């Protein structure tokens, strides 16, 4: 099966249904009053982690995922039907980012985990909500809110405890096939493994997931040989097992080359705990090369093996079993270092204030736009609701903090008004 680990698409949640204006017509009560029902909520777009999925292939040719709108309200105070949510299942390890905001929306790491990516709009209120003692027959209703719309990127980063790394054809696929039920393609030529292979390994009742990652080459951190695509799958691995071919001409240089690529890649991969497997110890000259390696790197833990014959792997597995409980996981986190940003969850800003100069201030807010779309600001009641909402989310105080004064012009979603300390 073709392995797809990054896709871009748009998601559009459903709009809320509009409330309606209606009046009850009862045989013996001609003044029964307003009976306009509320609109239903629009469907949300929800992503769910599914351990049975391993690729993003089924999303590759989807450009838009769209939920249905809620229905309009009905007479007799009846609600319009809410639209069903759209649930999309993704593999474990999927990271969902908002492209325009450079923000992580979801990090799907546990089976069944659900995250709302685009929230459906709320339904508008019918005219029955606006009846007062002074206005018993209001001809006013509320429009439904717009559903959220996003342009997103979904990136699959293999979720494994242990990652096998090394040059192509050093024996990684053979190793994972010997210690787990994984059955990767094995052949004596470079790049046999082009997609990550996962295997469950059990040692005396302790189990962990091992990933056979595609072979790296010099320049991988710069994108050579699909290097970036391969390296990012190591970001979740808690422990790296570096497989060296001791029959190769210079395994020390191989070790240094790969570690240089880890150092160059912006993800702190070089700081992960690393064990070394000295493979193919039956090759001529392998003992001498192993001794030279130990002399140069006396602090590195090395496990001599012949993976093809399943020799020497028990000691490696028991060492992994001892190490893993004491190594933390690597979730998405925020960190700015050398101008490189690793994205994280952050509370969505409700608004942004931009000083255009000459006492003119512009406020950008998707939430405010959605709220304003439900109002008729020519109506006194809606204008009051608008002002109260600005106070509630802190717009007035934020403007004061930025230096806004009485008489300055405020622009929000195409609406302009003067800033008044006593009214905003």
Mean pLDDT, to the nearest integer, of 138-156?
92
Q: How confident is the model at residue 338 (pLDDT cuts 50, 70, 90)?
A: very low
Same domain, 368 and 295: no
- Average pLDDT (152-178) is 85
CATH code: domain of residue 271? 3.40.50.300
pLDDT at 124: 94
Is position 405 within any domain? yes
Query: Which contiguous run of DSSP H or E holds residue 387?
Result: helix 380-392
Which residue range(s) make up the domain with 401? 352-418
Other Cβ atoms less than 10 A from the Cβ of 213: the count is 24
Which pLDDT band holds residue 314 (cuts at 50, 70, 90)? Answer: very high
Same domain as 320, residue 172:
yes
Region 136-152: what's the mean pLDDT? Answer: 92
Q: For residue 276, what pLDDT band results from cuts at 50, 70 and 90?
A: very high
Contacts of 222 (CB under 8 A, 6+ apart): 264
The answer to whether residues 310 and 394 belong to one domain is no
Q: What is the mean pLDDT of the chain?
A: 81
Residue 285 in any domain: the answer is yes
- The residue from 110, 126, 156 where one domain ends is 156
The pLDDT value given to residue 68: 97
Residues 10 and 135 reside in one and the same domain: yes
Does position 130 have pLDDT exceeding 70, yes or no? yes
* Residue 168, pLDDT above cutoff 90: no
How is residue 395 annotated by DSSP?
H
Average pLDDT over residues 117-124: 95
Same domain, 272 and 315: yes
Are 275 and 136 within one domain?
Answer: no
Q: Based on the domain organization, do 283 and 207 belong to the same domain?
A: yes
Q: What percent of the chain has pLDDT over 70?
A: 81
- Tell whether 240 and 264 lie within a shared domain: yes
Same domain, 171 and 318: yes
Is 267 a residue whose pLDDT tops 70? no
Asked whether residue 67 carries a pLDDT value surpassing 90, the answer given is yes
Structure tokens at 10: 């748009």
Query: Both 263 and 396 in a single domain?
Result: no
Distant-in-sequence, close-in-space partners of 138: CB < 8 Å, separation ≥ 6: 21, 34, 127, 130, 131, 132
Q: What is the CATH number of the domain that holds 392?
A: 3.30.300.350
Instruction: Please tell me the total count of domains within the chain.
Output: 3
């Amino acid at each position: 099966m073709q392995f797809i680990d990054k896709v871009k698409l748009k998601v559009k949640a459903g709009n809320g249904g509009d409330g309606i204006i209606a009046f009850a017509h009862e045989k013996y009560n001609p003044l029964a009053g307003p009976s306009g029902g509320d609109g239903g909520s629009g469907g949300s777009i929800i992503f769910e982690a599914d351990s049975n999925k391993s690729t993003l292939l089924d999303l590759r040719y989807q450009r838009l995922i769209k939920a249905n709108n809620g229905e309009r309200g009905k007479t007799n105070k009846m609600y319009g039907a809410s639209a069903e949510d759209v649930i999309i299942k993704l593999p474990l390890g999927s990271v969902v980012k908002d492209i325009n905001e450079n923000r992580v929306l979801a990090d799907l790491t546990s089976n069944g985990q659900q995250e709302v990516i685009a929230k459906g709009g709320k339904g508008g209120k019918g005219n029955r909500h606006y009846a007062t003692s002074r206005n018993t027959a209001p001809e006013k209703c509320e429009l439904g809110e717009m559903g959220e719309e996003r342009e997103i990127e979904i990136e699959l980063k293999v979720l494994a405890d242990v990652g096998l790394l090394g040059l192509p054809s050093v024996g990684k696929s053979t190793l994972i096939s010997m210690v787990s039920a994984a059955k990767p393609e094995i052949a004596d030529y470079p790049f046999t493994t082009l997609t990550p292979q996962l295997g469950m390994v059990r040692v005396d009742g302790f189990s962990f997931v091992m990933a056979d990652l595609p072979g790296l080459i010099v320049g991988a951190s710069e994108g050579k040989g699909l290097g970036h695509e391969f390296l990012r799958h190591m970001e979740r691995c808690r422990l790296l097992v570096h497989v060296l071919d001791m029959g190769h001409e210079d395994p020390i240089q191989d070790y240094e080359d790969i570690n240089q690529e880890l150092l160059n890649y912006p993800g702190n991969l070089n700081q992960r705990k690393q064990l070394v497997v000295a493979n193919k110890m039956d090759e001529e000259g392998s003992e001498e090369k192993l001794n030279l390696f130990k002399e140069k790197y006396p602090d590195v833990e090395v496990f001599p093996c012949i993976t093809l014959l399943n020799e020497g792997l028990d000691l490696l597995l028991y060492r992994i079993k001892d190490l893993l409980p004491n190594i933390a996981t690597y979730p998405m986190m925020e960190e700015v270092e050398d101008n490189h940003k690793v994205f994280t969850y952050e509370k969505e800003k409700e608004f942004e204030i931009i000083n255009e100069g000459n006492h003119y201030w512009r406020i950008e807010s998707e939430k405010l736009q959605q709220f304003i779309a439900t109002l008729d600001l020519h109506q006194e009641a809606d204008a009051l609701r608008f002002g109260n909402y600005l106070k509630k989310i802190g717009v007035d105080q934020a403007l004061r903090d930025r230096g806004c004064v009485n008489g300055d012009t405020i622009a929000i979603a195409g609406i302009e008004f003067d800033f008044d300390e006593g009214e905003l």
